[in-house]
Structure 1
C-alpha cells in the first residue's frame, strides 16, 4: 500500500496522525499514516480521528475558535476582561486585518480537516472486501464527505471564494501546493454533491452507543437544508427541512435545559454536535471556562467571552422565557464559602458543567452544530419566503416558542414581519452556538452593518461580511488573491 505523504498546502502543515478511539473518548494511542487502512478497525479509527478535528483541545474550530475568530465580530459578543490576545480584541472591535492570527487558524485548521477527509475517502475507496465490509466502507466514505462539506461550507461563508481541493496532497509540486481559488458556485457544487451522497448514511437511531454523535442521514439532510437556506434557495431548503421533520425521528426535548444536560447528549434534538468529554485527555468544552465568572471563589472561570450588552440581546428575552436562566447567569453561589455572588452583567451559561464546578475547562457539555430547533426555524423561514406566514410556517416557529414558554405568534403577520420574527427567534434560541455571525452576514452587508452600528460597534463596514484571506497564505501561495473587499485594507 502506498505511503501517504503530507505536505504544506498554502502554509498549512497537514498532520499525518489521526486519533484511534470511540467518537466521544480520547484516543489511547495514535497510528501513523502508513499503518492505516489495512483493516476495518483502522479505517474506522481514521475517520473517527477526523471528527476530532472539530473539537480537539486548545483553540480548535468548534472548541472556541469559532467564538474568538468569528462571533466576536457580531452585535451579541465581545472580548471579555480576560481576553488578552490582541488579535481577538481586534475582531471584537472590527479592526482586524489580513494579518490576524485567528484568520490564519480558521483557514489552516479547516484545510487540515479537509485533507484528512480527502485521505480517508481515497484510501477507504481502495480497500478490498477482505479488508472491510462493503456497508462499512460506504458509510465511512459518506461520513468523510459530510465532514468535508461542513468545513467547506464554513470556509465559503467566512472567506468567500477559496481553493477547492478534493484529493490528498502527496507531493511538493507547484500544481499541488499553489492552488488558485475556485468560484463560490464551484465550491457549493462540491458541498451539495458531498451532502447528497452523505444523505445515504444510516439514521441516527441505528447507531450503537459507542457511535452516537457520528454523521447520519438526518445530519446530512439538515446541513444541506442550511446550505440551501444560505443560498436563498427556499424551495430546496424547505423540501430538505420537511424531509428531516417527517422522516428522521427528531423532536424537541420537553425542556430547553435538556439540550445542555450531559446525561442527554446525542439525544432526540441533537442532529449533530461537537463532542466533549471532560477529564479525558483534556477534551473539555473550553466555552464553559471562557464564559464562566472569574471573581467568584472556587469557580475559577476565565471570563474571556462576554455579552455585548449594547446589542440588547439579554433585554430582548421575556422574563418568563425558559431559555433565559440556561443561556445566562446573573450570579452564582461559591463552592468555597457558600455565599451568592451577583455579577455586574449577565454572563453566558449554556456550557457550565455542575460536575466540575472549579474546573470548567473540563466541561462535558456538547456544543450543538445543528439541532432540531434550528431545523424547525429553517423550515419556517423558507416557507415564509415562498408562501408568506402560513399556518405551516407559524407552527414550526411556534414549536420553538412554545417550548420556551413565550407567547405564540398569531396569524396575520406580513412576510417581512415574520422574517424578522424568525431571525429574532434564531438569535434567542441559538445564543453562543456559533450562529449569529452567519445569520447576520447572509442578510447582506447593509443589514450586518446596521445591526452592529445600532449596537455601538461603529467600526463595522461592508467588507466585514467576509474575513480577509490570511496574509500568510497570500505570501506563501503566489496563485492566491485577496478578497476584493479587503484589497488595500
Structure 2
C-alpha cells in the first residue's frame, strides 16, 4: 500500500490509504512562506514534492535513453511535431526553444522551489562559504532530531534535482532559498563546480541526518521516502562524477555492509508492481494507479502503436524504442532481455518496445509502475567502477551478471580494457531504460580510461545509420553530420530560450553550439 499526501499544481490533495481523496482546496488559500508550522504540515509539503518528481521523470528519458545508444525515436518518416522534437534530441540538434527542454527545466525548478520553502521553515540553510548545511534556531514544535530528519529528505530531493540539471544543462541557476521573481531575474548562472558543491552539502546532510533504519525495519509510513542509505548511494555517484573514488568507496561499502538492502532473487522481481519498494530499491519516483491522476503515463508512451489492448489499455505511441544495437548486445541466455524488451508481432513484427514498465491498468495513462532511481545493483557496480580492475570489482560485476545469465565472467585483472567493457556492458544491460546510460557515458569520461562518450555515440550512429537513420527524409543528415553533432557541447542541452529572452536585468549566457 502506498500512503501519500500530495500538493499538486493548483490544489492541495490529501490522500489516505491507497486511493481515497479526503480534501481538496485551492493552493491559493495556503501561504507557503508561513504554512509549515508543525510536523503534519511539513510531511504534507514533502510528500507533495515527492509527487512533483513525477513530472521531470516523464520527460527525462528524452534526454537520457534517447540520446544514448539504447533507444531511437520510432517513426523516422513521420510529420508529427512530437516526433520531430524527439528526432532533434536523438540526433543532437534541438533548438534552444525546444518545448521538452523547457518543460523539464521548469518542473525541476518548481520542485527546488518547494524544497527551499520547507528548508527555510526548518531553519536549514546552505552556507556557500563553508559548503555545508547550517541549522539555525528551531522555531517549530518538533524535536531537533525530527527537524533534521525532515531537512534531510528535502536536501536529498534538492540534490537529486540539481544533479540532473547540472549533468544535462551544465552550470545553472543556484537557488537555495526562497526568492522573489525579481530576485530570480538578477541571478545568473553558477559554475558547475558551485552546483556540485551544493549537491555534496545537501547529500552529506541527508546522509548524516536521514533515517538509518535498515531495510526490513523501515516504518510503513517512511517507505518510499529518502533515507540515509539512498543519500549515501547518490553521494557516491556524485563523487564518481568528481573523480573522488576513495570517498565513493567508503560510502558504498557502508551501504553494502549496513543498510540491509540487497539483490532480489530474480531481475523480473525488481520491477513487479506486486513487489514495489523491494530490498533492491533504495529510491524510486512513485506512481499510483486508480484514477487519482497519479498514475504513470510512460507505459502508454512506450507501448507499440495500433496494439489495441494487447499490451496495455489504450495502445501506445512507440516512443523510446530499443535500438537494434542494444538488442543484439544481449546474450541469448540473458534473462534481462525479455524483461526489458518485447515484440508486438500481430501484423506488426517490427514493433519492438520497452517492456520493463508494462502493467495492465484499467485506465489509459494510469499505470502503477514506479520509476527506479537508485538500486542496490547500482551500488555494487559503482563500487566496481570506483575500485578499478581488481578481483573484488569482478566479484561485484559477477553478482549482477550471474543473476541474469547463471554464467560467471572470468576475471582479467591484467587488462583494463576488458574490465571496463565488462563493467560498461553490465551497466547497460542491467539499467536499460532507467535513464542511466547517457549519464553513465558522460561519467565514464572521468572514471574509465578506454570508454568515452563521444566515441560510443559515434559508433552507435555508424551501426544504426544504414538500419534506421537513412529512413529520415526531413531533415536528411549524413552519418558524418550526425557524428559531428554528437560532441561535448551538444551533450549539454540548451538553456531554455525563454529564460534568456524574458530577463531584462541580466544577459544569460547560452551553452556553446546553440
Indicate whether the TM-score tops 0.5: yes
**Of the candidates 368, 376, 396, which is equivalent to residue 380 of structure 2?**
376
Q: Indicate the residue corresponding to 2:52 in structure 1.
A: 53
**2:236–2:251 Cα contact (<8 Å) kept:** yes
TM-score (norm 1): 0.86
How far 1:40 sits from its partner (Å)? 1.6
Q: Indicate the residue corresponding to 2:30 in structure 1.
A: 33
**2:322–2:341 Cα contact (<8 Å) kept:** no
**Of the candidates 252, 264, 269, which is equivalent to residue 253 of structure 1?**
264
* Structure 2 SS opposite 1:273: strand
Task: Measure the CA separation in 2 of the matches of 1:435 and 1:442.
Answer: 10
Residues 281, 53 of structure 1: CA spacing in aligned structure 2 closer, same or farther, 3 A cutoff? Answer: same
Cα-to-partner distance string for 1:449-484 (whole Å, 9 max, x where unaligned)? 424433436423212221111111111235353344
**2:240–2:443 Cα contact (<8 Å) kept:** no
**Of the candidates 186, 198, 201, which is equivalent to residue 194 of structure 2?**
186
Task: Measure the CA separation in 2 of the matches of 1:95 and 1:129.
Answer: 50
| 1:34-433 matches, cutoff 5 A | 34=31, 36-55=35-54, 60-62=55-57, 64-81=58-75, 84-85=81-82, 86-125=84-123, 131-169=141-179, 171-173=180-182, 175-199=183-207, 200-203=209-212, 205=215, 206-299=217-310, 300-310=314-324, 312-331=325-344, 343-354=349-360, 356=361, 359=363, 361-384=365-388, 388=389, 390-413=390-413, 414-433=415-434
Cα-to-partner distance string for 1:282-324 (whole Å, 9 max, x where unaligned)? 22222211111222332332233232534x1011111111111
Cα-to-partner distance string for 1:332-354 (whole Å, 9 max, x where unaligned)? 7xxxxxxx666324211111114
Task: Measure the CA separation in 2 of the matches of 1:277 and 1:480.
Answer: 42
Task: Measure the CA separation in 2 of the matches of 1:278 and 1:51.
Answer: 16
Residues 22, 259 of structure 1: CA spacing in aligned structure 2 closer, same or farther, 3 A cutoff? Answer: farther
- Which structure 1 residue ranges, 5 or more long, are not aligned? 1-13, 333-339
Residues 99, 23 of structure 1: CA spacing in aligned structure 2 closer, same or farther, 3 A cutoff? Answer: farther
Residues 15, 282 of structure 1: CA spacing in aligned structure 2 closer, same or farther, 3 A cutoff? Answer: closer
Cα-to-partner distance string for 1:27-46 (whole Å, 9 max, x where unaligned)? 64355432721322111101
How far 1:17 sits from its partner (Å)? 5.7
Residues 176, 309 of structure 1: CA spacing in aligned structure 2 closer, same or farther, 3 A cutoff? Answer: closer
**2:262–2:376 Cα contact (<8 Å) kept:** yes
Indicate the larger mover: 470-479 or 108-117.
470-479
**1:441–1:448 Cα contact (<8 Å) kept:** no
Q: How large is the Cα RMSD of the aligned pairs?
A: 2.6
Task: Measure the CA separation in 2 of the matches of 1:106 and 1:417.
Answer: 37
Task: Measure the CA separation in 2 of the matches of 1:436 and 1:222.
Answer: 17
Q: How many residues align?
A: 453
* Structure 1 SS opposite 2:93: coil
Indicate the larger mover: 182-191 or 229-238.
229-238
- Which structure 2 residue ranges, 5 or more long, are not aligned? 1-7, 124-135, 446-452, 470-478
**1:221–1:244 Cα contact (<8 Å) kept:** yes
Residues 474, 136 of structure 1: CA spacing in aligned structure 2 closer, same or farther, 3 A cutoff? Answer: same
1:447 equivalent in alignment to 2:455: yes
Q: Indicate the residue corresponding to 2:496 in structure 1.
A: 470
Residues 293, 359 of structure 1: CA spacing in aligned structure 2 closer, same or farther, 3 A cutoff? Answer: farther
* Structure 1 SS opposite 2:333: coil
Residues 476, 23 of structure 1: CA spacing in aligned structure 2 closer, same or farther, 3 A cutoff? Answer: farther
